[in-house]
Structure 1
Amino acid sequence: MSLNSTASSHPSYFLLVGIPGLEKHQFWIAFPFCLMYAIAVLGNTTLLLIIKTEPSLHEPMYLFLAMLAFTDLVLSTSTLPKMLGIFWMGSGEIAFPSCLAQMFFIHTFTSVESGVLAAMALDRYIAICCPLRHSSILSVPVVVGFGSVVLVRGVLLVSPVCFILHRMSFCQHHVISHFYCEHMAVVKLACGNTRASYIYGLFVAFSVLGFDIILISVSYTVILRVVMRLSSREAQLKAFSTCASHLCVTLTFYVPALFTFLTHQFGHSIPPPVHIIVANLYLLVPPMLNPIVYGVRTKKLWEGVALLFQRKGT
């Protein structure tokens, strides 16, 4: 059967090669990635279980954290199992529909993660700047509404990306120099005019990341001004400590994400192995770090763990 079937103009499968230039080392590179994935799955699953079973954690901060944990599980699971299959078993083939599905989940939940991080920054802003009104402004229905909006935003913005690619024609070359179906990596294989897909991809990236980064920056600028005016040194340190973990997680997501996006557009001199490894960082490092950073620094989560074990008789 030829790659381009008579019923459609796209190939029956793509071939993911992993990291070009490092094929001989991919078997060993997979081990730290596998360890990071195991930590991400264990940590985020534990967070979801604790927040679900402990009623005292049904507050805005922890509900947003549960959304982040679920998003991280989807992001890491969308890429890592296939990557390990490529690195350890050489199973790089991925069917065209599966490639589009992987692309949809990766880019949709990247948008969701960005939206949840922005919502968490807004939560910190309200908690520090309007502490007496925090519970009335961010009620549980409002938090659920935030989560629904960022999910719908991701689905509505990313769905046309997959639809446009499904309608495009592809040349005989079907090798993707990556270990997952990244949008621009697939677009480069298309024949004919790819301008619509290219422009729409830019629009989605700038509208999602741009808006969320501006919201986070404004929130923390106002927070910093309010904290610096506090008379108590202890209160200042407590406020800084509360925001430090969120800023750390935010930077580990946005820095590699922006690097990956800008490299596709302008960084043609960046070696492909560097670009591809960094592209994996924002899909794996934040999911691994989030449960560690929030779990270690949040006393109520530790109390939730203790209560969970007590109920199980441990």
Structure 2
Amino acid sequence: MAVFNLTPSDPSTFILTGIPGLEAAHVWISIPFSTSYIIGLLGNFIVLFVVGKEETLHKPMYLLLCMLALTDIGMSTSIVPKALCIFWFNLKGITVGGCLTQTFFLHAGAMMNSAVLVTMAYDRYVAICDPLRYATILTNARISKLVLVGLLRAVLFVLPLPLLLSRLPYCGNRFIPHTYCEHIAVAKISCGDIAVNRTYTLVITLVVLALDLTLIALSYGLIIRAVLRMSSKEAHQKALNTCTAHICVMLTSYIPFLFSHMTHRFGQGITPHVHIILANLYFLIPPMLNPIIYGVKSKELRDNVGKYTCRM
């Protein structure tokens, strides 16, 4: 194995240690990492290709699915290739600029992912509660504007994170006990005061999560009320089926994120390797499962994937 020969005090680099305590198993750990990443890339690129080629899928729901695929690709690609370099080749060094860039993209991607899930919940609300006006309320132009608002929110909220890290002094210790440059993990190796970093991260996480989960809960509360007013059991089933995929995607996205965040904040008794593995699951599991979930639950998408697959 090649070793990235750096001194711990090199001011131009940080050193990502991977998964502390499991260094001997890095090669074995890389197998599920790389497999999940490849499956996720393949599935999401298939979704993008099929929706892009098939004009009948140029609808708000599938455009949002494409946005979800793009954020999933971006988030997983921001960390997995570097993690695999650590596992396979012991290439642990990362420049300070590269580390701050990675911090920005992975946190912005997570926030953008949440914004897309909120917009999907709104899409399902309109489809079920006001179906006759669906085409006029949720036009492709309006979806684009909502996605742009989510993107601007992500950039404006996350941009201070690398700026806060860049102002901190880093003394002798340049080792980050992680597979990627997570904001607080980088801040903890500083020899300066990181109270502002901790407070800002906690505030934006709570504000964004509270806002997004409240909007999603409100949408589904109105959906459930509308479903209960339907007299036909068949209508009940059809309405709930349209929401199943979105609910599954939300669970695969928010549950790993909440586990990771809670263990990072309050799980002092949890061993570091358990926390880091949980943190990585957020960037591996949703990108892998989301296209599978929508492929299984959406007959229109599934049929078109089959059509293009048979042509190859």
Which TM class, normalised by the smaller chain length? Answer: over 0.9
- 1:1-314 mapped onto 2 (5 Å cutoff): 11-308=11-308, 314=312
Q: How far 1:228 sits from its partner (Å)?
A: 2.2
Q: How far 1:2 sits from its partner (Å)?
A: 7.8
**AA in 2 matched with 1:237:** Q
**AA in 2 matched with 1:57:** L
Q: TM-score, normalised by structure 2?
A: 0.94
- Could you tell me how far apart the structure 2 residues matched to 1:57 and 1:189 are? 48
SS of the residue corresponding to residue 91 of structure 1 reads: coil
* TM-superposition CA deviations, 1:94-117 (whole Å, max 9, x none): 111000011111000100000001
Size of the alignment, in residue pairs?
307
- Could you tell me how far apart the structure 2 residues matched to 1:62 and 1:154 are? 22
- Could you tell me how far apart the structure 1 residues matched to 2:261 and 2:220 are? 24
- Could you tell me how far apart the structure 1 residues matched to 2:307 and 2:263 are? 47
Taking a change above 3 Å as real, the CA distance of residues 92 and 2 of structure 1, as seen in their structure-2 partners, is closer
* TM-superposition CA deviations, 1:135-171 (whole Å, max 9, x none): 1111111000111111111111111111111111112
- Could you tell me how far apart the structure 2 residues matched to 1:268 and 1:88 are? 29
- Could you tell me how far apart the structure 1 residues matched to 2:260 and 2:307 are? 42
Q: How far 1:126 sits from its partner (Å)?
A: 0.8
* TM-superposition CA deviations, 1:222-252 (whole Å, max 9, x none): 2122212221112212222221111111011
- Could you tell me how far apart the structure 2 residues matched to 1:74 and 1:180 are? 14
SS of the residue corresponding to residue 94 of structure 2 reads: strand
Question: Does the 8 A contact of 1:3 with 1:12 survive in 2?
Answer: no
The alignment's C-alpha RMSD in Å is 1.6
Question: Does the 8 A contact of 1:169 with 1:191 survive in 2?
Answer: yes
**AA in 2 matched with 1:107:** H
SS of the residue corresponding to residue 169 of structure 2 reads: coil
Q: How far 1:86 sits from its partner (Å)?
A: 0.6
Question: Does the 8 A contact of 2:9 with 2:174 survive in 1?
Answer: no
SS of the residue corresponding to residue 15 of structure 2 reads: strand
Query: In percent, how many aligned pairs have the same letter?
Result: 47
SS of the residue corresponding to residue 184 of structure 1 reads: helix
- Could you tell me how far apart the structure 1 residues matched to 2:9 and 2:273 are? 29
Question: Does the 8 A contact of 1:37 with 1:80 survive in 2?
Answer: yes
SS of the residue corresponding to residue 203 of structure 2 reads: helix
**AA in 2 matched with 1:189:** I
SS of the residue corresponding to residue 159 of structure 2 reads: helix
- Could you tell me how far apart the structure 1 residues matched to 2:216 and 2:293 are? 19
- Could you tell me how far apart the structure 2 residues matched to 1:285 and 1:192 are? 35
Question: Does the 8 A contact of 2:8 with 2:173 survive in 1?
Answer: no
User: Which ranges of 4 or more aligned residues in structure 1 deviate by more than 6 Å?
Assistant: 1-5
Q: Which runs of 5+ in 1 are unaligned?
A: 6-10
- Could you tell me how far apart the structure 2 residues matched to 1:277 and 1:232 are? 46
Q: How far 1:3 sits from its partner (Å)?
A: 6.5
SS of the residue corresponding to residue 269 of structure 2 reads: coil
